[in-house]
Amino acid sequence: MPAPIARPRDPETSWEAADAQTTTRRQLVQAAIVTLINNHGPLSDERLVDLYEAHRFMHPSVPEATPQSIRTRRNELVVEGKVRAASQRGRTRTGSSCQLWTLA
């Protein structure tokens, strides 16, 4: 298993959370994100979190994940070149402009 992902100056709670993120768990969350973007995209992070929760309810093998963890896994997919910023922007529930994500 690779070393936990946390910044050197992060508090102990961040390191504990990083320890809980196994490679398998990260891969399961990432696979769900790819499926959701493929089926419903382009998506904002806000909408992705909402859809992830519904997806997890229907598929018990999908691990529970916090909104921050879902955004982090999505960003990992961006870095890997599997997800990219969509050309259009979206709106959050409060009406703010936001980035939409699509499959690369």
Helices (DSSP H) in the chain: which residue ranges? Answer: 12-20, 23-40, 45-58, 67-79
Residue 2 domain flag: no
Q: Whole-structure pTM over 0.85, yes or no?
A: no
Domain tally for the chain? 1
Residue 30 domain flag: yes
Residue 11 domain flag: no
Residue 13 domain flag: no
Quick one: pLDDT at residue 10? 76
Containing structural domain, residue 64: 22-103
Residue 38 domain flag: yes
Q: What's the CATH code of the domain at 72?
A: 1.10.10.10
Residue 14 domain flag: no
Residue 82 domain flag: yes
Quick one: pLDDT at residue 13? 73
Coil, helix or strand at residue 85: strand
Residue ranges of the chain with pLDDT lower than 70?
A: 1-6, 14-21
Residue 75 domain flag: yes
Alpha carbon distance 4, 14 (integer Å): 10
Quick one: pLDDT at residue 36? 98
Contact 101, 51 (CB under 8 A): no
Angle separating helix axes 23-40 and 45-58, nearest 10 degrees: 110
Alpha carbon distance 6, 25 (integer Å): 16
Alpha carbon distance 88, 101 (integer Å): 9
Quick one: pLDDT at residue 15? 66
Quick one: pLDDT at residue 9? 80
> Each residue of 13-30: pLDDT tens digit?
766 666 666 888 999 999
